[in-house]
């Protein structure tokens, strides 16, 4: 067992004993003009452990309660007063000291050690660049991997899964459009159909704009005749082509 895991288990045991939990609280007020970010809103509350001036005892033997569920709940808890910088938090995730909270389920989290890192398999992950993907002036961490991998945001002394590539129909990348960075999910898996969904954030828990555009065959049985749609409105080919040219010229893929 490596040292980090051991620390995680010990901290967990201590937390359990102290009955201290790091529960998220759902933020009451609605954010933004869009409706597709309930998980982001759930994550946006400040989550801290109060009065947890924990002493980590490295040399004690961990007890038998070693389940990964418990590791997910604890890891190294950071006191609010510590107020770690974004880059420090991302470093802690990369070296396995802290987990990242899932975007799907804010009660669930994962460590980098749970990912298949650098195995060379098509679906393995690798540490990518750090870039400001949510336009708040601070970097996010890109973990390159299958379907565009995982983008992580650090805030409130925690690391959050910000965006994730979920499959061939939801390949994750990012682009620069109209001076801002947008997260993009692409579906290019079928001939005669391409669909793109873009999201612009101002802070990873604050979705401020979305764009949808796609091209599809007018008739599935007739090749070559397509129609083009931007945000629900059919647009001419020229306009669609110009939009795509502009957007894809800046696209950064993060599969590898």
The DSSP result for 95-145, as a single string, is TTSS-EE-SS-TT-EE-GGGS-BS--STT-BEEEEEE-SSSSSS-EEEEE-
Piece in contact with Ca ion (CB under 5 A), picked from 39-47, 48-56, 67-75, 132-140: 132-140
Tell the smallest beta-carbon distance from residue 199 to Ca ion (Å). 13
Contact residue for Ca ion among 43, 73, 138, 210 (CB under 5 A) = 138
Residue 134 touching Ca ion (CB under 5 A): yes
The residue whose two tokens read 């998980």 is 39
- Beta-bridged to residue 233, according to DSSP, are 230
Taking the alpha carbons of 34, 31, 152, 160 in that order, is the dihedral positive or negative?
Answer: negative
Contact residue for Ca ion among 79, 114, 136, 166 (CB under 5 A) = 136
Pairing of strands 207-217, 226-230: antiparallel
Cα(251)–Cα(74) distance, integer angstroms: 37
Contact (Cβ atoms closer than 8 angstroms) between residue 94 and residue 117: no
Query: In the complex with Ca ion, which residue's Cβ is closer, 125 or 160?
Result: 160
Contact residue for Ca ion among 132, 219, 239, 242 (CB under 5 A) = 132
Piece in contact with Ca ion (CB under 5 A), picked from 24-32, 41-49, 101-109, 125-133: 125-133
Tell the smallest beta-carbon distance from residue 42 to Ca ion (Å). 19
Query: In the complex with Ca ion, which residue's Cβ is closer, 73 or 161?
Result: 161
Query: In the complex with Ca ion, which residue's Cβ is closer, 13 or 101?
Result: 101
Q: Which residues bind Ca ion (CB under 5 A)?
A: 132, 134, 136, 138
């Amino acid at each position: 067992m490596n040292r980090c895991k051991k620390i995680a288990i010990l901290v967990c045991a201590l937390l359990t004993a102290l009955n201290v939990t790091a529960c998220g609280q759902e933020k009451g007020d609605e954010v933004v003009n869009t409706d597709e970010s309930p998980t982001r809103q759930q994550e946006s509350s400040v989550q801290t452990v109060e009065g947890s001036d924990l002493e980590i005892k490295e040399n004690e033997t961990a007890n038998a309660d070693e389940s990964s569920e418990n590791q997910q709940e604890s890891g190294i808890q950071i006191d609010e007063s510590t107020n770690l910088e974004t880059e420090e938090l991302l470093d802690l995730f990369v070296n396995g000291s802290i987990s990242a909270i899932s975007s799907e389920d804010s009660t669930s989290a994962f460590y980098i050690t749970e990912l298949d890192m650098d195995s060379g398999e098509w679906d393995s992950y690798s540490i990518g660049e750090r870039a400001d993907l949510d336009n708040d002036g601070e970097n996010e961490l890109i973990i390159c991997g299958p379907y565009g991998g995982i983008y992580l945001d650090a805030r409130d002394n925690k690391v959050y899964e910000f965006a994730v590539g979920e499959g061939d129909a939801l390949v994750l990348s990012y682009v620069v459009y109209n001076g801002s960075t947008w997260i993009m999910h692409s579906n290019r898996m079928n001939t005669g159909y391409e669909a793109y969904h873009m999201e612009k954030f101002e802070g990873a828990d604050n979705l401020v704009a979305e764009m949808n555009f796609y091209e599809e065959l007018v008739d599935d049985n007739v090749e070559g005749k397509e129609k083009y749609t931007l945000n629900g409105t059919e647009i001419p080919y020229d306009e669609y082509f110009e939009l795509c040219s502009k957007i894809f010229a800046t696209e950064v893929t993060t599969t590898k």
